[in-house]
């Protein structure tokens, strides 16, 4: 838990991030400095033209210097270490036991081993598929997709294969989504060659049934939506939506990334959906990592199973096999069977939670959101999106500081920057385009304690009070971070450089001065 804001304000040192005067590693070079030198390292044998003429210009530093350098940089990297109520992302603690389990059980396996020697991990895949089928009502899960967007893409490809198998692909060239569905649905539908029709929000905070009906027809290939949507609003008409799309011959995909508030409270299949995806690196407690080692678990009902990417783990008598012989499969969406360590960590998390744990976590997520909503409702200058509606809000709510911006000129970016001075991670605002001005979207999930949430809101209130008293203090934040607010240099291609070579080219005078 976080100590109270009072504690922070009374302690004159408050919070301060580590700040090092750290050069670029290329500037640290001292000729001849080395880490480990292998005297008898063999020179690689390269075909004539492949071998370079001059040795590469690499930084020459000792092992100790290198370690210290990168440690300093990591200490100066903001984020994901304060209180992080980062909406639409369901920030969860990643139990250390998951690291231990993967290092003990997976490190020495390779997916190209014979299946007989991989029975343990295959059993885990099969069990986890069963677990998620139970949670969603689907018939088979696969874990190949390397993230949520990849799972959405998997669905767009399955949609193509499904309609092609029925000779209707020429006719069905449109996928319908909503403006508060995560942008990966329209993007992947476009990538798979479909036209995308996006529905806009109406008074209730979601599109009306009439609006949906105005676009559904013989060209409809699929509906791709999340629910609750990107601002936490649950569309209560969803069963009717699915029915309308099915009657027109389209498939329905449920982006279940925002599953946290409804875990064990509803099943995608029972709402009528043909397929859904869960984010293991989000809802299921596995780490998120720079879009890399993630897993979008994709599940579908029987009629779509033949089209799933291969291989699918199957039980054959007493043993598990990798079924590669799937003539209608869309093929791979990723190498091997996806990110196995993530699957193992999520499986461990899910088994530890069990059915009751999932339900309790869902309820706590909604409770935490209601609590935040109640407190933010009393916060000066903060308003809630779609204030008049009674549609249920689940695990998060979109709010706005528009009033504060109107009164003080301080934008939500500046307020967010200032909050980092208190050890709070930058806020999640909103996907684009912004329908709500100066938006922010907090989500506490089941992880963050009441003290953490109170601290977070106390800081927000404190910063808003500062904005009214001394707007400059907020506008020039962060003050306690390793760096100040970014300058517009990022917009100037002639200034910024992402490689040393570009830096040398763009800043010859700085290089010469050294």
Partner 1 sequence: MARLGLIINPVAGLGGAMGRKGSDEPDIAVRASVEGRLSQSPERAARALDTFRVGCSVEVLAGPVLPPRGEVTPVGPATLLGTAADTEACVREMQGKVDLILFAGGDGTARDICAANSGGIPILGIPSGVKMHSGVFARSPERAGRLAADFLTDPLRRTEMVEVLDLDEEERRAGRLSARLYTVARTPLNRRGDRQNPKAGSSDTVGEMDGAIAAYLRAMKTETLYLLGPGATMKVLKDRLGGGSLLGVDLAEGGRITGIDLDEHTLIERVAGRKVRIVVTVVGGQGFVLGRGNQQISPAVLRAAGMPRIDVICGADKLAGLNPQELTIDTGDPALDSRLSGYWPVITGPGRSLVMRVVA
Ligand X SMILES: Cc1ncc(COP(=O)(O)O)c(C=O)c1O
Of the candidates 226, 369, 405, 430, which one interacts with ligand X according to CB under 6 A? 226
Task: DSSP letter for 79, please.
Answer: S
Q: Which of 491, 498, 512, 513 binds partner 1 (CB under 8 A)?
A: 491
Q: Which stretch binds ligand X (CB under 6 A): 100-108, 143-151, 314-322, 360-368?
A: 143-151
For 266-293, give one letter per residue: b (16+ CB within 10 A) or e: bbbbebbbbbbbbbbbbbbbbbbeeeeb
Among partner 1, ligand X, none, residue 279 binds (CB under 5-8 Å by kind): ligand X
Structure tokens at 254: 């449920």
151, two tokens: 């799972």
For the CB of residue 505, give the shortest distance to ligand X in the complex, in Å.
Answer: 34
What kind and span of H or E run contains 197? strand 195-199
Question: Binding of ligand X at residue 88 (CB under 6 A)?
Answer: yes
Contacts of 345 (CB under 8 A, 6+ apart): 94, 95, 98, 99, 101, 102, 280, 285, 286, 287
Of partner 1, ligand X, none, which one does residue 258 interact with (CB within 5 to 8 Å by kind)?
ligand X
Which of 13, 170, 488, 509 is in the footprint of partner 1 by CB under 8 A?
Answer: 488
Interface with partner 1 (CB under 8 A), residue from 492, 496, 501, 508:
492
Task: Please give the backbone phi and psi of residue 248, each rounded to the nearest 5 degrees, phi first.
Answer: -85, -5
DSSP-H helix ranges across 76-147: 96-105, 119-136
User: CA distances (Å), 12 to each of 6, 7, 119, 133, in order?
Assistant: 11, 10, 58, 54
Instruction: Output 181 or 329, the one with its CB closest to ligand X.
Output: 181
Of 184 and 459, which CB lies nearer to ligand X in the complex structure?
Answer: 184
Q: Which of 182, 393, 418, 475 binds ligand X (CB under 6 A)?
A: 182
For residues 275 and 256, give the distance between their C-alpha atoms in angstroms, rounded to a whole number: 10
Tell me the C-alpha distance between 378 and 407, whole Å: 17
204 binds partner 1 (CB under 8 A): no
Q: Report the residue number, 177 or 408, with the smaller CB distance to ligand X.
A: 177
Contact of residue 429 among ligand X, partner 1, none (CB under 5-8 Å per partner type):
partner 1
Neighbouring-strand partners of residue 278? 297
Q: Which residues bind ligand X (CB under 6 A)?
A: 88-89, 147-149, 182, 184, 226, 255, 257-258, 279, 294, 296
Q: Which residues bind partner 1 (CB under 8 A)?
A: 179, 186, 190, 194-202, 207, 210-211, 214-215, 402, 405-406, 409, 411, 413, 429, 432-435, 437-438, 471-472, 475, 486, 488, 490-492
């Amino acid at each position: 838990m976080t100590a109270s804001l009072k504690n922070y304000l009374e302690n004159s040192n408050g919070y301060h991030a580590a700040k090092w005067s750290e050069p670029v590693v290329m500037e640290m070079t001292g000729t001849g400095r080395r880490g480990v030198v292998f005297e008898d390292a063999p020179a690689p044998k390269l075909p004539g033209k492949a071998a370079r003429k001059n040795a590469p210009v690499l930084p020459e530093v000792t092992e100790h210097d290198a370690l210290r350098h990168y440690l300093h940089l990591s200490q100066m990297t903001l984020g994901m270490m304060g209180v992080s109520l980062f909406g639409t992302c369901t920030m969860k603690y990643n139990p250390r036991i998951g690291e231990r389990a993967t290092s003990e059980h997976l490190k020495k396996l390779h997916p190209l081993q014979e299946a007989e020697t991989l029975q343990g991990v295959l059993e885990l895949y099969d069990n986890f598929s069963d677990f998620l089928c139970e949670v969603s009502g689907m018939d088979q899960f696969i874990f190949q997709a390397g993230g949520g967007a990849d799972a959405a893409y998997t669905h767009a490809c399955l949609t193509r294969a499904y309609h092609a198998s029925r000779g209707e692909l020429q006719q069905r060239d449109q996928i319908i989504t909503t403006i508060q569905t995560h942008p990966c649905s329209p993007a992947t539908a476009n990538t798979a060659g479909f036209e995308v029709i996006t529905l806009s929000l109406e008074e209730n905070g979601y599109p009306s049934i009439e609006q949906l009906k105005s676009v559904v027809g013989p060209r409809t290939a699929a509906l791709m939506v999340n629910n609750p949507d990107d601002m936490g609003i649950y569309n209560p008409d969803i069963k009717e939506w699915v029915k309308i799309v099915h009657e027109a011959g389209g498939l329905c995909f449920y982006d279940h990334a925002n599953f946290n508030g409804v875990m064990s409270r509803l099943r995608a299949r029972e709402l009528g959906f043909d397929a859904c995806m869960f984010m293991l690196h989000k809802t299921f407690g596995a780490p998120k990592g720079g879009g890399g080692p993630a897993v979008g678990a994709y599940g579908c009902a029987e009629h779509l199973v033949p089209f799933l990417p291969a291989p699918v783990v199957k039980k054959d008598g007493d043993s598990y096999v990798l079924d590669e012989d799937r003539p209608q499969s869309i093929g791979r969406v990723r190498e091997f069977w996806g990110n196995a360590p993530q699957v193992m960590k999520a499986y461990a998390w899910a088994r530890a939670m069990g059915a009751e744990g999932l339900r309790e976590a869902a309820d706590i997520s909604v409770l935490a959101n209601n609590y935040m909503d109640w407190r933010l409702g009393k916060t000066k200058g903060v308003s809630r999106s779609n204030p008049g509606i009674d549609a249920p809000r689940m695990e998060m709510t979109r709010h706005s500081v528009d009033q504060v911006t109107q009164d003080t000129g301080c934008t939500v970016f500046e307020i967010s920057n200032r909050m980092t001075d208190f050890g709070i991670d930058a806020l999640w605002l909103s996907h684009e385009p912004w329908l709500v001005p100066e938006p922010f979207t907090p989500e506490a999930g089941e992880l963050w304690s009441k003290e953490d949430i109170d601290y977070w809101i106390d800081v927000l209130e404190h910063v808003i009070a500062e904005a009214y008293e001394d707007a400059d203090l907020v506008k020039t934040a962060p003050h306690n971070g390793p760096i100040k607010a970014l300058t517009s240099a990022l917009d100037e291609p002639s200034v910024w450089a992402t490689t040393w070579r570009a830096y040398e080219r763009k800043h010859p005078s700085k290089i010469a001065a050294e």
